[in-house]
């Protein structure tokens, strides 16, 4: 079974969020299921600079304003195809944003090129390799199932939604430029209220739709969570499934993590916790240290946590946040760290620091308003940093709340709260303080958390089964 993963991010090469982790982990996880997955990525400068030996496997003399080549190579343990298109990718700044902020005006074309080359590989093969299935991630891969269909490629296609909030919109008058077939321009095609939507293209034309947790799959069919595409999700209900993300248990392994010295939770957490107290100048004390590692956007609910901080810190709780994003939230967290003893914030992006936080933290907080899957609660489970999460999406599916029944049955792994308000979060933090004071119960929750499977095993098997159901007999 040959699968081409169509993605704009892939760890460890290029990452802005969880999509990269998933795209980076899937090939190895699926190899264990007998699936040969290769990955196609845009040739951003950082990737082009790292390329060693490459082979040109496909060429297009003029695609969206310039020549394009697909290069095959191996990098960071991945079998890669890199779309070499300097007119689209050779730019400063982030992968989606201009250096001065804001999307590149031609983002639709930049990622349509990725999808176009992937579709051509499915239609014609490249250097003798032709995928049975295109696995497309988020709006950046959204046009690939449509292009593949227009080319008569015959390959099966899967569209995975990592976050429904991003649609990849383009003005209607770009449909010629984007090479969208005329038959796709209607409300049951790529049109979304008079605009083109790359995500909707994927949802309409892929054989199967997945999202990264069963709860988010259900939520996406509702008006509250569907971001305007809930009707599409309901119409395609039979093609939709939720498959939970796993994490890379080699990268996130408390026994071998180079970011920490020794670790054996719950008792062995002491060294990592002490290191955290020192690194962030936290007050000494018996109260729990709760950590946050997150993009700072409205989705993540960290404004609610700001409101709950004074009460939590006033009762001996300590909080360390690592994150970056919205200016207002960054300023809010800087101010809280300045004014409240027991609260520290590092505004920035730092992988090694994220490991130190998870290792030293007693709890990890994820108060998201919506969360397709979420990864940091999975890291927390593995390292005995008890997750305190909003009851939504993948957070609801991965954490067992320490209610009376779960405590009696000895199965609790964390805390959930609902609705997603500052009051409910505050109440959950009160519960956290109380549970943490009872060392026996706390140790049991930590043990349960660490025993909870967070690897890719089950989910890789679920993807493999899905591919099997739709694979072309190419």
279-338 binders of ligand ADP (CB under 6 A): 293-295, 322-324
User: Of 275 and 470, which CB lies nearer to ligand ADP in the complex structure?
Assistant: 275
User: Of 165 and 433, which CB lies nearer to ligand ADP in the complex structure?
Assistant: 165
DSSP-assigned letters across all residues of 416-453: EE-S-SHHHHHHHHHHHHHHHHSHHHHHHHHHHHHHS-
Of 6, 8, 9, 21, the one binding ligand ADP (CB under 6 A) is 21
Binding to ligand ADP by CB under 6 A, coded x per residue (else -) over 357-376, reads: ----------------xxxx
Least distance between ligand ADP and beta carbon 158 (Å): 19
164 neighbors 142 (Cβ within 8 angstroms): no
By CB under 6 A, tell whether 153 contacts ligand ADP. no
Residues 6+ apart with CB under 8 A from 283: 318, 341, 342
Give the integer Cα–Cα distance in Å for 193 and 442: 51
Least distance between ligand ADP and beta carbon 351 (Å): 5
Q: Quote the tokens at residue 128.
A: 């003798």
Least distance between ligand ADP and beta carbon 294 (Å): 5
Of 124, 261, 350, 423, the one binding ligand ADP (CB under 6 A) is 350
Q: Which residue has the closest beta carbon to ligand ADP?
A: 18
By CB under 6 A, tell whether 211 contacts ligand ADP. no
Least distance between ligand ADP and beta carbon 394 (Å): 8
Number of residues that bind ligand ADP (CB under 6 A): 17
Residue 18 DSSP symbol: H
Instruction: Look at residues 23, 34, 29 and name the one whose alpha carbon lies nearest to residue 1.
Output: 34
Instruction: Look at residues 8, 26, 156, 4 and name the one whose alpha carbon lies nearest to residue 463.
Output: 26
Of 66, 349, 422, 474, the one binding ligand ADP (CB under 6 A) is 349
Least distance between ligand ADP and beta carbon 344 (Å): 14
Residues 6+ apart with CB under 8 A from 46: 13, 14
User: Of 71 and 389, which CB lies nearer to ligand ADP in the complex structure?
Assistant: 389
468 neighbors 133 (Cβ within 8 angstroms): no
Residue 172 has a CB neighbour count (10 Å cut-off) of: 12
User: Of 302 and 402, which CB lies nearer to ligand ADP in the complex structure?
Assistant: 302
40: which strand partners?
A: 6, 81
User: Of 293 and 400, which CB lies nearer to ligand ADP in the complex structure?
Assistant: 293
By CB under 6 A, tell whether 25 contacts ligand ADP. no
DSSP-assigned letters across all residues of 199-262: HHHHHHH-SEEEESSHHHHHHTTSTTTSTT-HHHHHHTGGGEEE------TTTS-TTT-TTSS-
By CB under 6 A, tell whether 344 contacts ligand ADP. no
By CB under 6 A, tell whether 354 contacts ligand ADP. yes
Interface residues with ligand ADP (CB under 6 A) are 17-18, 21, 293-295, 322-324, 349-351, 354, 373-376
């Amino acid at each position: 079974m040959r699968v081409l993963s169509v993605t704009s991010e892939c760890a460890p090469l290029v990452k802005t969020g969880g999509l990269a982790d998933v795209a980076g982990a899937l090939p190895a996880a699926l190899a264990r299921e007998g699936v040969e997955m290769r990955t196609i990525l845009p040739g951003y400068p950082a990737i082009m600079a790292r390329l060693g030996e490459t082979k040109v496997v496909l060429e297009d003399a003029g695609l969206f304003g310039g020549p394009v080549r697909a290069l095959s190579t191996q990098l960071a343990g991945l079998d890669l195809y890199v779309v070499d298109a300097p007119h689209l990718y050779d730019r400063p700044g982030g992968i989606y944003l201009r250096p001065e902020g804001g999307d590149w005006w031609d983002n639709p074309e930049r990622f349509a090129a990725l999808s176009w080359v992937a579709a051509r590989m499915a239609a014609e093969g490249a250097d003798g390799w032709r995928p049975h299935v295109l696995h497309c991630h988020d709006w950046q891969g959204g046009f690939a199932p449509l292009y593949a269909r227009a080319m008569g490629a015959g390959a099966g296609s899967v569209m995975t939604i990592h976050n429904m909030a991003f649609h990849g919109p383009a003005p209607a008058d770009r449909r010629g430029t984007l090479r969208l077939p005329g038959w796709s321009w209607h409300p049951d095609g790529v049109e979304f209220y008079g605009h083109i939507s790359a995500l909707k293209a994927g949802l309409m034309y892929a054989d199967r739709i997945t999202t990264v947790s069963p709860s988010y799959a259900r939520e996406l069919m509702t008006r509250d969570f569907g971001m305007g595409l809930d009707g599409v999700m309901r119409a395609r209900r039979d093609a939709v499934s939720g498959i939970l993300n796993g994490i890379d248990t080699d990268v996130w392994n408390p026994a071998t993590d180079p970011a920490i010295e020794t670790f054996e939770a719950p008792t062995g957490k002491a060294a990592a916790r002490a290191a955290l107290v020192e690194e962030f100048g936290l007050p000494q004390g018996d109260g729990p240290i709760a950590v946050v590692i997150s993009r700072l956007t409205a989705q993540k609910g960290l404004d609610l946590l700001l409101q709950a901080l004074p009460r939590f810190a006033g009762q001996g709780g300590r909080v360390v946040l690592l994150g970056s994003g919205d200016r207002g939230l960054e300023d809010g967290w800087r101010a809280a760290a300045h004014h409240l003893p027991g609260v520290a914030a590092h505004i920035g992006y730092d992988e090694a620091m994220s490991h130190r936080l998870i290792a030293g933290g007693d709890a990890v907080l994820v108060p998201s308003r919506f969360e397709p899957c979420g990864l940091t609660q999975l890291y927390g489970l593995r390292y005995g940093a008890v997750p305190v999460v909003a009851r939504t999406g993948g957070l609801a599916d991965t954490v067992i709340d320490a209610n009376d029944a779960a405590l009696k049955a000895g199965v609790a792994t964390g805390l959930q709260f609902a609705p997603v308000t500052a009051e409910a979060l505050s109440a959950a933090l009160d519960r956290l303080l109380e549970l943490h004071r009872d060392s026996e119960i706390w140790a049991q929750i930590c043990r349960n958390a660490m025993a909870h499977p967070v690897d890719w095993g089950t989910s890789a098997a679920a993807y493999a089964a899905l591919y099997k159901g739709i694979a072309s007999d190419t």
